[in-house]
Amino acid sequence: MTLQFSLGTAAPETVDAACVLIGVYEHGVLTSAAARVDSATDGLIKRQVESGDISGKAGSTTLLFAPAGVAAKRVLVVGLGAQKSFDSARFQKVNLEAARVLGKLPLTEAVSYLTEVDVPGRDHAWRVRVAALASDHAAYRYTATFKPRDKSKQPELGAITFAAGDDAHAGLDQARAIAEGVRFARDLANLPPNICNPAYIAAQAQAFAEGKDKVSCKVLDEVEMDKLGFGSLLAVGRGSVNKPRLIVLQYQGGNEGDKPYAFVGKGVTFDSGGISLKPGAGMEEMKFDMGGAAGVLGAFVAAVKMGLKLNLVCVVPSVENMPDGDSYRPSDVLTSLSGLTIEVLNTDAEGRLILCDALTYTAQTFQPHTLIDAATLTGACVIALGKHATGLMSKHDDLAAELLAAGEATLDRAWRLPLWDDYQAQLDSGFADVANIGGKSAGAITAACFLSRFTDGQRWAHLDIAGTAWDEGRKGLATGRPVALLVQWLLNQK
């Protein structure tokens, strides 16, 4: 179910809703909405605070059912933490936690007054957008299930009204578009790899483009790529019966002749490691190795939904990396589309081998204004930054600053790692122009150094989303990152 968003200005004590959400800080400090509800209920909120039932701790919730004096059937009191240190990240957190609680209640709609809470440096539009996206993230359910559904399921949350005036409409419109893009990315990445293979991703891209005047889709198969010289990409896919695809989406929202912005996303639909086979434990999570593809496709969907006044290209190299009698091997030497030769030292460093050809193709074909790739590229990035920050690498300080700022604005944050030439020597090869791995140290950086060999002359940045594209564990789901970051960056290009 897609969560519906709207704006409202009714008072919290008079609105007739299944549930209203109000905030309370620590030490019993009430927000304006909480104070109004407290007054209408003859001091109920303050009494709950005094009794300790409402702590105000950030993310805590207390549900009050049918309190006398208000029209709503329920009041959900959400803890905001200490007022003095309240910030953007905590605002996102409390909205996320509130939506998770709402999702467990037997209701279909709610009205949130959390968007009235002051967030230093953020306007109403930002608050509504972040609250809506946090709510949508919490409300997401993986519905392409392969087990019987429970027909006696309770009602599901389907709509949230946010307390805000007309100045928040832009934020709400952006939230709707970004939420659609994030859901597109999450749905695609969560699918099992026996369904979501390169041909399936291509079909989804074609289906999205169909009937849209400003959108076109082109798909290259393995025969066409072989003729063009995609030697590196095709080598990775040799061991699988699911043949590679190069998916090219174009959106002409700007002036004819304007250079497009370009996104490239790694689309390895399952990564066994190839001949350099991965350990069995956790290998099931390698269906998420197309998280970069899902992310850039989701950002493309959101940009089209917004009708951004710019030209955008989205290129997805998609393969399955499997061991087979025809698989590429460690010590193979590949000739890439750029003409550079690559010594394969590890077949599990395959993402950079498909990206290098896709980056070359994108640069040569479209001469983009800016080229950004997103990829679940290295475990080293997860070790360095954990699951919270995307790794960002670029030789262009201005572009890196733009992407970092977009991440801060959306709370889809990135952290810049160096891309100094000092690291390039780790990729030296005695048998080819470059090796595909650089040894144990600085693995995320040397992977980006490898990609930089194929982006000469381009205004380019690399996003390593290996830690941020999905949540770990047997029930972990795709996050839809970095859709919000990329879309905000596009919005800032106006």
What are residue 309's DSSP bridge partners? Answer: none
H helices present in 52-166, as ranges: 88-103, 124-139
Copy the structure tokens of residue 199. Answer: 């041909």
What burial class does residue 148 get, using C-beta atoms within 10 Å of its C-beta: 0-12 exposed, 13-18 middle, 19+ buried? exposed
| Closest-CA residue to 292 (of 464, 467, 439, 138) | 464
Determine which one of 74, 245, 352, 481 is catalytic. Answer: 352
Told to judge if 73 belongs to the known catalytic residues of this protein, a careful annotator would answer: no
Q: Where are the beta strands (DSSP E) in 376-448?
A: 390-394, 414-416, 434-435
The verdict on whether 153 is a catalytic residue reads no
Label residue 322 exposed, middle or buried (CB < 10 Å: 0-12, 13-18, 19+). Answer: buried
Give alpha helix (H) positions in 41-109: 44-51, 88-103
CA angle 273, 244, 424 (to 5 degrees): 55
CB atoms within 10 A of CB 122: 17
Maximum alpha-carbon separation in the chain: 81
Distances (CA, A) of 74 to 13, 42, 108, 240, 468: 11, 16, 13, 54, 35
DSSP state of 478: B
Residue labelled with tokens 């100045």: 167
**Nearest to 221, CA basis, from 192, 249, 253, 245:** 245
Distance (Å, rounded) from C-alpha 213 to C-alpha 251? 9
Catalytic residue among 57, 259, 278, 416: 278
List the catalytic residues: 278, 352
